[in-house]
Amino acid sequence: MAAATLRARERLLRLLERGSTRAVSRAGRMAVDAAVRAQRAGSGLPDDDLAWLTVLLIHPPVRDYAWDSVGGDLGTHVGLWTEVTRRAEPGLVVVPAALLSYAAWCAGEGAVAAIALSRPLALDPDDPMVALMSRVLT
């Protein structure tokens, strides 16, 4: 994952050099949708796709799109964000773990939501999603 994340960061830099934040938002929406489809199909994400998703999730519009996409088949989202949280590089785990916490909470899995939130709380308690989920769970 370290090598895949390095490639994803370089890809993001090239995208930013050529385009705008709108291009990043568009790429992020596409990555989130592809990840959800892959999870529903049971195929999982290759390292490069997962790393690309984690790098894009730092961008607030992508993060918010992922947050808004949680719904419907909650098991798909819990499974997806569990896998992303498990495999993400440590510096990129805050958003996927917060998304896992939210998806688990929506699915009625309060214990899973609390466990998922413990990791980003330790890393970045001031992150807006982390703070929100902390308030929700308390």
* pLDDT tens digits in sequence order for the chain, 138 residues long: 999 999 999 999 999 988 778 999 999 999 999 999 999 999 989 999 999 999 999 999 999 999 999 988 899 999 999 999 999 999 999 999 999 999 999 999 999 999 999 999 999 999 999 999 999 999
94: Cβ contacts below 8 Å, ≥ 6 apart:
119, 120, 123, 124, 127, 129, 130
**Stated pTM of the model:** 0.94
The structural domains of the chain, with segments of one domain joined by +, span: 2-137
Q: Are 130 and 99 in contact (CB under 8 A)?
A: no
Question: 1.10.10, 1.10.340, 1.25.40, 3.40.50: which CATH number matches 2-137?
Answer: 1.25.40
